[in-house]
Amino acid sequence: MLAQWSVLSVTVIAIAIFLYGVSKTAMPVVGVLAGPLLAAVLTPTVASAFALPLLLVGDLYALALYRSNVDWRLILRLIPGVLAGLLVTAFLFSVLTATALSRILGALILVSVILEIARRTRNLSSELPTDAPLVQSVKATLFGVLAGMTSMAANAGGTAMSLYLINMRVSTFTFMGTSAWFFFFINISKVPILINLDLLTRETLAAGVWFIPVIVAGAVAGSIIFRHISGEWFYWIVLAVSAMAGLWLLIVG
């Protein structure tokens, strides 16, 4: 597999994997920028399987940094929706093209970003009103489904998870710790699905080993970046990148 790639392909893949590393320790939504790069070289389905072991390496690095900064209640609320999203996407792979599925997800992400920006601009004070428990549960289910689908289809679950955590108004460290644990469990759960689809093979694992230093380098860079971003900038950058990701998926597919 690796021998078949050109220098340009390897460079693009390395950039994508580096961005995945940054996403693990600085801002999960940045990983969405890596998805299209990897898919352009490997196709979306192959890219999903190729990146998975490397993402798990990044998850472990992130857990080493943020493992104690976690809100387990937020994760538990997401689980039913995420599992449903993973299964739905596995089915949709067989009835829709990757482009059609990506465009659907892009539209959903854009709607979520627009709604969150509207909510934040209506409430300019730092303390936004808290949703009722039932509303929080409904939001968790919807964002969970979106996270599961985007994670399975394009390794882009960071967008939905980021929008969910912004909506729940958590601190930046809780944001990173909760994301780290969440995506570790999500990526572990994707392993048997991708094996069953014959996408995760010995060949993809062997090729991925060469890029372990790249994702570690990205994670190190991300941890440095995270320490220098203020809380307010952090959330607005997440929304901006999420919007870019949604537009990319909607237009390019």
Average pLDDT over residues 68-88: 87
Structure confidence at residue 249 as a pLDDT band (50, 70, 90)? confident
DSSP 39-73: HHHH-HHHHHHHHHHHHHHHHHHHHHHHTTS--HH
pLDDT at residue 124, as a whole number? 52
Stated pTM of the model: 0.80
Residue 152 in contact with residue 85, Cβ under 8 Å? yes
What DSSP state is assigned to residue 26? T
Mean pLDDT, the chain, integer: 83
Average pLDDT over residues 94-112: 81
Number of CB atoms found within 10 A of residue 174's CB: 17
Average pLDDT over residues 129-158: 71
The fraction of the chain above a pLDDT of 70, given in percent, is: 90
Number of CB atoms found within 10 A of residue 1's CB: 15
pLDDT surpassing 50 at residue 126: no
pLDDT tens-digit series, residues 152-192: 766 566 788 888 888 888 889 999 999 999 889 888 988 88
For residue 197, give both structure tokens.
């689809």
Average pLDDT over residues 113-126: 72
pLDDT tens-digit series, residues 187-221: 898 888 888 888 888 888 888 899 999 999 999 99
pLDDT surpassing 70 at residue 222: yes
Average pLDDT over residues 81-90: 83
How many angstroms separate the CA atoms of 219 and 27, rounded? 10
